[in-house]
Structure 1
Amino acid sequence: MADQRDFLGRFDAMSSKATATVIAHYSTSFTLASRLLSPKTRHDIEALYGMVRVADEIVDGAAAAAGCTPEAVAEILDNYEHQVLLSLDTPFHTDPVIHAFGNTARKCGFEKAHIVAFFNSMRRDLSQTTYDPTQLDEYIYGSAEVIGLMCLKIFLQDSKASAKDREAMEHGARRLGAAFQKVNFLRDLAEDKEDLGRSYLPVFTESMRDEIVLDIRADLDAARLSIPLLPFGARAGVRAATDLYGCLVDNLESASLEDLKNGRISVAKTKKASLATKAMWKEVFRK
């Protein structure tokens, strides 16, 4: 009798655990928020995060620290994009992160254009060091807004939302992704400038910081409007992530420019736990 062991199922499970390890290693905030998602949704979000994080690490110093030349880093990124795009049509990959991502991408119907836009932004990080407003908007779209749109694909994979509600949720997803990226610009001022030689915000003053903070708050407010439209299994996690970044904005606004330029502003673990709990109970009672 043929061996009936579930070889693919075991590989799928291992790949899913691999992406869960990636998110846990790199982001306490997203790990905490993802735990409020339904299990099925959480595994898919972890798969998306895992792919995005590996690409980020390629351009943000890991490959260079391993001794790769700039030309080699560019080639690594190109090869990684090629393999990720192949996973949209291929049901197996030897890389567990790409394998898990491919499973999620095919199931949820990720758009190739969104993935290409993401890698185009990552590619800019290899050579572009300053940005004008138009270029920055393009960068934010590819590096963050399309990630929000892919997250929404995950949330709505079993949904029959109306076209009007989908449009509203897509707007919210893009605004939330943009808010996350702008927060990271402020948090990573020192690292981007000193370690990576990048300046997304070329002239940084207190008035500029306050202007960016207002812009981020507007993005977060717009994103919050669409949270009630999301399926129940996604709402608490998205609300927790939104509120965590809202707290980060408060801390960034109150920090001195010297602190912003010299270190990464964060949220205390106890505060994160409190925000996550409040988000969970708010959605439970709302339902």
Structure 2
Amino acid sequence: MRLRIDLGYDGTDFSGWAAQPGLRTVEGVLSEALATVLRAPDPVRLTVAGRTDAGVHARGQVMHADVEEDAYARLPGRSDRAPEVAAVARLSGVLPADVVVHRVAVAPEGFDARFSALRRRYRYRVCDDPAAADPLRRRDTVVLRDRLDEAAMDEAARSLVGLHDFAAFCRRREGATTVRTLLEYSWHRADDGVLEATVVADAFCHSMVRALVGSVVPVGEGRHPVGWPAEVLRGGVRDPRVRVMPAHGLSLEEVVYPPDDALAARADEARATRTLPG
């Protein structure tokens, strides 16, 4: 049977999501925890909505796991708790403090945590006043020395929205497309004075969000005009002037899925190779 698991984590002390020999990863920790509570002989294989890099956080991550139905049914033991409630409680008992499972449920038919997703929403936090930086937010906020023009950054960011080849902002992988639909990219100053970016897309390629942020920070600093990020996008190749921003400012906030009866169709659509019209 397939389980949908909603979770969050502080990515500071992890070498990213993906399991790697000899390294502490989110996938590795969760896979072992599931195997422990289900009494499985081997680590449980996981599929995740967004494979976050080392140091990146998540509040709204989603994954799925295919498990033995009998093992899941045994989770409540002698209690009268439902298996999904027992699963959350048991996982909380074995997971480290920097990983939290919010919800476990039997997944609807056709659900795939990665391919069924309609969109992912990320947030990036930048403090542009070092004297006002909150030391308690140092793990999720990047501090820069110079004051930034958030209006210029927001205008530049919005010029990148749409269906494009984002090769200029991605690390290429053999055989993988860099065509994505950027649904929203905006900046605003939050109540605590920190600049926050909201970045939403159907999917992201490796380092894309941090490069998108890195393309508009120089605009906010006054080093490039508002139209420069769009110029970089049209160039279609990585520009060394675009800085890939630090990982710790980034957090996966939300993954959105279609209604249950559209999950399988969405997964088939997402697996197809993306191309630009014409």
- State the TM-score bracket (shorter-chain normalisation): under 0.3
Larger helix percent = 1
Q: Which has the higher contact order (CA 8 A, sep 6+)?
A: 2
Larger-Rg structure: 2
Q: TM-score, normalised by structure 1?
A: 0.26
Q: TM-score, normalised by structure 2?
A: 0.27
Larger strand percent = 2
